[in-house]
Structure 1
Amino acid sequence: MDIGRAFTYILDDREWTPKLLISAGIALFATFGSILLVGLIGWALLFGYLVELIHNLNTGLATPLPRWANYTEKLRKGGNVLAALIVYNLPLLLPACCYLTTSSFWGDNYVGSAIGYVVLCCVLPLLLVYNFVTWPMFALGVVRYAEEDNIGVFFQFGDLLSTVYRHFNDTLQWIFFMVVVNFVLLILFAIPCVGQAVAPALAIPIYAYLASRFAVRIEDMPRPKRKNR
């Protein structure tokens, strides 16, 4: 996996600027519209674009960035990815809810604060471990979905887990690259308005490239191909 190439391959496409500008506009709508839930439409569009981009990368197209067209199909594909992402993150709600609902019983005194910090120190490592386990599983699921167009691939947990951790070194490298990329994007996202548009727009092609290369490295069994529609 070449992390530098993940940032630069879009420049091979002569139409990368308008494609990225449309992505940025949708990302801005998705970010601020999420407060009213209508932003989920924007995220579904971006995830649909991600799926098509991964498929193009796997196919080996010289200019893999898709054009912004056929929005209905992008919504369908991206909606499935968004639904799977929500399911993957449901277990994170349990410790968060427990912490929030019990924190009021600890009081504002020294003992209560100490208990709160202890609970937080116990919960955070569990959340990190869960994310490090499910991140690569979800990434592999997205790549398989891009090829098979079947939402069920996200929930083949046993196969995803065994495939990912059969190639532990490749998985660790991918996790490291994702941490670096997310750190850079988080800094960019902190820029008011501009960052909220540009960071998600750049994240889509970067995530797509790293996920595609990651899957190529670790997939060691033939997979069914997408059905013709």
Structure 2
Amino acid sequence: MDFAKPFTFVFEDQNWLSKIALVAVISLIPVVGVLVLLGWGLEITRRVIRDELPILPEVDFGKHLGDGFKGFVIGLVYSVPMLVLVILMSVFSAALSNSYNTDFANAVLILLVVCLALFILLYGLVLNLLAPAAYARFAATGSMSAAFQFGEVWRTVTANLGGYVLVVLATILAGFIAGLGSIACVIGVIFTGTYAAAVLYHFYGQAYKQARLNRSL
């Protein structure tokens, strides 16, 4: 995988500024804007996987909105276990405040809360590996069902585990880049956030393409 390419490919497009600016402005639209941004990012992933040029796409509002909604559903499904664990931990944590609990009951509740916190941490790490592969499988095939073939998603990750660890690191770095825009107030955050999304979805495409290559060897 080329770690530098996701950070530079945007500027190789002669129309990069207008493309980024338009997506950034659209992302301001409540709910819809976020879905369009997600769909636009998935198009970058698709083009990287298929070696299509230009990699940085023009906005196709209807298509990107539809793909973004499907991407939202994919992300939601993968997040369900995390939500369940968080709810359970909240319930047990609230139960600790009950003044009628015995010492034994409190000890059991504390143990449950600690175990759930560890499971949340563990699943969070796994989710950061699985979700990019699921998104890439959807981008590559255009089929939501491909994202929910959990065995194949897992095999995709394990076929390029080092690459997907890089994706996790890139996710952290992209968040940092997005935050840099706060120096220039709201306008800056919008632009750096859109650029960071382009970087991240390029990584998704690279990781998937390399995993597919590794599995074919």
TM-score by length of 2: 0.81
CA deviation string 1:172-192 (max 9, x = no partner): 33333333333x146336565
Question: What are the within-5 Å matches in structure 2 for residues 33-44 of structure 1?
Answer: 33=30, 39=31, 41-44=32-35
C-alpha change, 1:173 and 1:54, in structure 2 (3 Å) is: closer
CA deviation string 1:132-189 (max 9, x = no partner): 223332212222222211110110001111231243333333333333333x146336
Structure 1, unmatched stretches of 5+, are 34-38, 223-229
CA RMSD, aligned part only? 3.0
C-alpha change, 1:186 and 1:104, in structure 2 (3 Å) is: farther
Identity level (%) = 19
Contact 2:136 2:205 in 1 (8 A): yes
SS in 2 for 1:28: coil
Structure 2, unmatched stretches of 5+, are none
C-alpha change, 1:125 and 1:203, in structure 2 (3 Å) is: farther
Q: Which residue of 2 aligns with 1:59?
A: 50
How far apart in 2 are the matches of 1:98 and 1:104? 10
How far apart in 2 are the matches of 1:171 and 1:208? 12
Please report how far the alpha carbon of residue 27 of structure 1 lies from its aligned counterpart in structure 2 after TM superposition.
2.5
Contact 1:43 1:82 in 2 (8 A): no
SS in 2 for 1:219: helix
Letter of the 1:54 counterpart: T
**Aligned with 2:74 (options 72, 84, 99):** 84
Matched, 1:218 2:211: yes
Q: Which residue of 1 aligns with 2:38?
A: 47
Question: What are the within-5 Å matches in structure 2 for residues 100-179 of structure 1?
Answer: 100-107=90-97, 121-179=114-172
Letter of the 1:148 counterpart: T
How far apart in 2 are the matches of 1:23 and 1:173? 26
Q: Which residue of 2 aligns with 1:36?
A: none
Q: Which residue of 2 aligns with 1:10?
A: 10
How far apart in 2 are the matches of 1:119 and 1:196? 39
